[in-house]
Amino acid sequence: MTQYFSLADCDAVGFDLDHTLCRYNLRESARLIYNSFAQYLVAEKGYDEELLTVPPESWDFCCKGLALDMEEGNFIKLAIDGTVMRASHGTKMMTSEELMGVFGKKKWKYFTDATMASRTAKYYFFDNYFDLPGALLCARIVDCLTRKNNLETFDFWKDIVASIHHNYKTTAFKENTGVYFPEIKSDPGRYLLLCPTSVKKWLYQLKSAGKVLFIMTNSHSDYCRLLCEYIIGNDFTDIFDIVISNALKPGFFSHQPNKRPFRTLENDEEQDELPFLEKPGWYSQGNSDHLYELLKKMTGKEQPKVVYFGDSMHSDIFPACHYSNWETVLILEELSGEEGMEPESNESEPLEKKGKYEEQQKKPLHSFSKDWGSFFVDGNLESTESSMAFTWFCKRIHDYSTIVIPTLEAIADLPLDYKFTRFSPDKSKTVGYYPKPPLVLLSNGESLTTK
């Protein structure tokens, strides 16, 4: 594999939608997602009303890469060797003595290796901005049940799943049910950031260069259409050759040999199963093998090179790399949200909207949490500040991403033949990030331990 990655070498360019093509006002969207779960749990499942009010300082608990032990109610930050770097019971952080007593120096009981599952019936990794409000809610549920019922084991996850189904089932948008979709539809400007002019020009540049462009999202078609028309415009279908909604990632990549068929759509309702894809268009569900066959036909190449942009290691980056051998670009907004860096402006947004939501657009969720430390590195039970190690999640970034960028806007003004230095096992751990590595990696340099 070459040392460099260039979009000019790619034949097809694919995009996830939420938090990739479509960026959100994270402060507002986090509150909305949290409320969509909490209101259901209180009204329908009898959970304590204190869950409805979130103290501002509580948002610091949110940090990507945490695992929830569903039965024990513990949140865990892992090193790449499977040992525990930090942990909490609910929102209560464990002291070093408590960590040693609960976990010792052993690997976490569910840890296998770098390719371990991100979600099972026993644990759940929170790896994207849609997940994070749910992490805070689960932690506060553990607090409530521990304090009031003195529980030591927990069985609330089934209620979390029920709340997700209530608010985000495929019919919720059309039926205007739940909390989330009605609120987005009534005031999209409160939650959605318009696609910058530079990104729209870049997309047209890719298309003019002969690239096949596609969107692949887990969102249902009606919500996908609302997002694309609002952030890009009604001409978004002129830009993208293929749109795949309700893709059910990561299964889109990994359900082999039983490939989930594509389905046609009519008035946002899924229709007939398709044995294969014959032409560009808008489809639902599907699988990567059948998509790749269409890309062969469209590009006229036997092995077209595909790159996929996404924000979720679990749903986007790992499966696209591991199962389909695609190039992958991880969108990691934490790179632009580090201390000392200003939030990016939404240059396409009308001035009146900018003024109305200017303060709200500052990111509430960063790569560094007072509770959890850095998303990228940390010490272990016996380490000091001079002995830091990569987190398990950071290792996954290095292993399965081609490069990492904060936003599409960060590369939109670059020539298509720009050569990015890709992640490589034999290169510095700070390469692969564009435009620059996380500050914490630069400050620790090569002193970071990898075992």
pTM: 0.91
Query: Strands 92-93 and 269-274, how do they pair?
Result: unpaired
Span 16-48, pLDDT tens digits: 999 999 999 999 999 999 999 999 999 999 999
What average pLDDT does the chain have?
A: 89
Q: Which structure tokens are listed for 323?
A: 């199962």
Query: What phi and psi values does residue 421 have, to the nearest 5 degrees?
Result: -80, 120
What count of other Cβ atoms lies within 10 Å of the Cβ of residue 204? 14
Question: Would you place residue 53 in the very low, low, confident or very high pLDDT band (cuts 50, 70, 90)?
Answer: very high
Using CA atoms, how far apart are residues 369 and 373, in angstroms rounded to an integer? 5
pLDDT at 366 over 60: no
Note the pLDDT tens digit of each residue in 253-278.
977 778 899 999 999 999 999 999 99
| pLDDT on residue 265 | 96
pLDDT at 248 over 60: yes
pLDDT at residue number 189: 97
Q: Of 13-27, 77-91, 112-126, 326-340, which range is least confident? A: 326-340
Residues 404-440: tens digit of each pLDDT: 999 999 999 999 999 999 999 888 888 999 999 988 8
Q: What is the pLDDT of residue 441?
A: 85
Give the total residue count for the chain: 451
How far is 256 from 258, CA to CA, in rounded Å?
Answer: 5
Q: Are 440 and 369 in contact (CB under 8 A)?
A: no
**Do residues 168 and 40 lie in contact, with contact meaning Cβ atoms separated by under 8 Å?**
no
Q: Quick one: which of 89, 93, 92 has its CA closest to 74?
A: 89
CA dist 265 and 272 (Å) reads: 8
* Cβ pair 306, 10 in contact under 8 A: yes
92-93 vs 84-89, strand pairing mode: antiparallel
Rounded CA-CA distance 436/348 in Å is 25
Token pair 């408590």 in the structure block, residue: 98
69 pLDDT exceeds 50?
A: yes
Among candidates 349, 344, 282, 287, which has minimal Cα distance to 319? 287
Whether residue 361 has pLDDT greater than 90: no
Does residue 16 have an active-site annotation? yes
Task: Kindly report the three-state secondary structure assignment for every residue of 379-446.
Answer: CCCCCCCCCCEEEHHHHHHHHHCCEEECCHHHCCCCCCCCCEECCCCCCCCCCCECCCCCHHHHHHHH
Tell me the C-alpha to C-alpha distance, in Å, between residue 283 and each of 108, 203, 264, 273, 280. Answer: 41, 21, 5, 10, 9
Mean pLDDT, rounded, for 115-142 = 92
Averaged over 323-334, what is the pLDDT?
95
User: What confidence tier does 449 reach under pLDDT thresholds 50, 70, 90?
Assistant: low
- Per-residue pLDDT band for 444 (boundaries 50, 70, 90) equals low
What are the C-alpha distances in Å from 387 to residues 375, 439, 444, 450?
Answer: 16, 16, 9, 11
Q: What is the pLDDT of residues 181-192, one digit of tens each?
A: 999 999 999 999
pLDDT at 337 over 80: no
Lowest mean pLDDT among 204-208, 224-228, 279-283, 383-387: 383-387
User: Active site includes 18?
Assistant: yes
Annotated catalytic residue: which of 16, 127, 222, 241?
A: 16
- Domain residue extents for the chain: 26-186
More confident residue, 350 or 85: 85
Residue 313 has pLDDT above 70, yes or no: yes
Encoded tokens for 58: 């509580």
Residue type, 271: Q
Among 9, 11, 18, 268, the one annotated catalytic? 18
The pLDDT assigned to 340 comes to 30
Flag whether pLDDT at 57 surpasses 50.
Answer: yes
Alpha helices (runs of H) in 270-391, residue ranges in sequence order: 288-299, 318-322, 351-357
Tokens 């010792």 sit on residue: 104
Q: Which comes out higher in pLDDT, residue 450 or 34?
A: 34
- Rounded Cα–Cα distance for residues 309 and 213 (Å): 11
pLDDT bin (cut points 50, 70, 90) of residue 354 is: very low
DSSP strand pairing (368-369 vs 373-374): antiparallel
Type of residue numbered 28: E
